[in-house]
Amino acid sequence: MNTKKMFNKLTKKQLYTYNIYFFTYFFAVGTLLPWIPIYLSEIALLSNDKIGLILSIISLVSIIFQPIWGIVNDKLHLDKQIVYLGIIMVNIFVVLIFLSTNFYIIALFTFLFGLFSCGIGPIQDSLTVIYTKKYCFKYGDVRIWGSIGYAVATVISGYFIKNYGYDSILMLASLFFLVSFFAFIRIKQVKNPLINKNIKQQINLFKVLKNKVFIIFLIFASLSIGVLSAMGNFTALRLMELGGSTTQIGFITALTVFMEIITMLYVIKVNTRISEYKLLIISILIQIPFLLVYIYSSNLYLLVYILLLRGISSGMFITVMVNFISSLLPNDQTLSGLILYSAISLNLTGYLTNTISGFIIAWFSYKVLFTTILCLVLFSLVLASILYKTKEQVVDRI
C-alpha cells in the first residue's frame, strides 16, 4: 500500500512538472508571438503584403523541416535534446525579430525561428500523450495549462507594450523560456517502442496517403481549421486599423483563451456523449457569425468581443482533433496521420493563407479577405458531409 501511494505521488509530481512546462513555455510564446504582426506594422513599418510574406515563412519552414525533425528523432532518439535546442533557439530568434526593422533581416530570423520551433510541438505533444495514456490522465489536463499560460501572458505583455514599449517584453519572455527549459529537463520520458521503429513509420506514412477517408479529412481540415487558424494575425491588424490598442488586443486575447479553457474543460466532461465529429463541426459553425461580423461591421467594440467565439471554437477542436484523427486510422498509423495533418492542413494552409491574405488586403480590402474565408469554410462543410458518409461506408464494410 505504501509503495502504491509513493508511486501515485511520484506520478502526480511528474504531471505537475508537465503542467509547469506547458504553462511557462506557452507563457513565453504568448508574450511575443501575438504581437509580431502588430510590431511589423507599427515599428518596422512594413506593408500588409510584406507582413503576410513574413508570417507565411513559419508555416513554409514547418512543411519542409517538421518531417526532417521527425526522421532525426526516429533515427537518433533525441526527443528531449531536440526540445532543449528548440527552446534556446526559439528564444534567441524571436527576440531578434523584435530588435530588427529591415524586411530581409526579419525574414531571416523568422526562418530560423520557424526552423527550431517546428521541432518542439510534435515532440512535446507526443511525449505528453504517451505519458498521460500510460498513467490514465487526459491530454487535455496538461494542454489546458498551456492555454492558461498563453492567456495570462497576453494580458501582461499588452500592458507592458503600452506603457514601456516592445523592449520590455523581451526579458519577460526569456525568463519564462528559461523556466520552461529547466522544467522540461525534469520531465521523465516514457518510451513507446512503436514510435521508434523508423522503417515501419515510413511505411505507415505512405499507407496514410493512400487512405481515401483521411485525404478527404485533410482537405476538409485545411479549408476550415487551417484557414481559420491562420487568419488570426489579420484580425489583429484589422483591429489596429480601426483604432484598437495593444492593451485592448491583449485583454481580448486573454478573454478569448479563457473561453477556450472553459470550453476545453466542458468538452473533456461531455466528450463521452457527443462524438468528435459533431464537436468538430460545431466548432466550425460557431465561427461563421464571427466572419459575418468582420465582413459587414466596422464597429471596433463589436469586432473585439465577437472574438470570444473563436475561443469557444478553439477549445472544441483542440480537445477533439487528436481523437478524431485516431478514429480515422489504425493505431499504428495515428502518428503519421498527426504529422500529415500538421504539415498539410495547418502549415501548408497557413503558408498559403498568410501569403495570399496579405495581397488580398493590399489589393482589395479586409471585407474581401473575410468573405473569401467564409466561402472556403462553407465549402469545407460540404466536404465534412462527404467525409462522414465515406467514413461510415468504410466502417460498414469492416
Helices 308-328 and 246-270 pack at an angle, to 10 degrees, of: 40
pLDDT of residue 211 exceeding 60? yes
Per DSSP, 343 falls in state I
Provide long-range contacts, Cβ within 8 A and 24+ apart, for 92-99: 94/32, 94/33, 94/173, 95/32, 95/170, 95/173, 95/174, 97/36, 97/39, 98/32, 98/36, 98/39, 98/166, 98/167, 98/169, 98/170, 99/170
Q: Please tell me the class of the 197-398 domain.
A: mainly alpha
What percent of the chain has a predicted confidence (pLDDT) above 90? 14
Query: How confident is the model at residue 335, as a pLDDT?
Result: 65
What's the rounded mean pLDDT across residues 159-168? 85
Phi and psi at residue 304, in whole multiples of 5°? -70, -50
Contact between 308 and 259 under an 8 Å Cβ cutoff? The reply is: yes
Query: How confident is the model at residue 256, as a pLDDT?
Result: 82
Query: How confident is the model at residue 113, as a pLDDT?
Result: 92
Query: How confident is the model at residue 10, as a pLDDT?
Result: 54
Higher pLDDT, 143 or 96: 96
Q: Where are the domains positioned within the chain? A: 1-195, 197-398
275-301 tens-digit pLDDT: 778 888 888 898 899 889 888 888 888
337-377 tens-digit pLDDT: 777 787 788 888 877 887 788 788 888 888 898 899 999 99
Query: How confident is the model at residue 128, as a pLDDT?
Result: 75
Report the CATH number of the 1-195 domain.
Answer: 1.20.1250.20
Contact between 31 and 175 under an 8 Å Cβ cutoff? The reply is: no
Mean pLDDT rounded to a whole number for the chain: 80
What's the rounded mean pLDDT across residues 321-332? 73
- pLDDT bracket for residue 73 (50, 70, 90): low
pTM over 0.75: no
Contacts of 392 (CB under 8 A, 6+ apart): none
DSSP result, 136-193: T--HHHHHHHHHHHHHHHHHHHHHHHHHH-TTHHHHHHHHHHHHHHHHHHTPPP---G
What's the rounded mean pLDDT across residues 34-58? 83
DSSP result, 223-256: IIIIHHHHTHHHHHHHHHHTT--HHHHHHHHHHH
Higher pLDDT, 157 or 151: 157
Q: Cα dist. 34→55, 215, 254 in Å?
A: 11, 31, 11
Tell me, yes or no, if the two domains 1-195 and 197-398 fold the same way.
Answer: yes
Element (H, E) at 328: helix 308-328
Contacts of 395 (CB under 8 A, 6+ apart): none
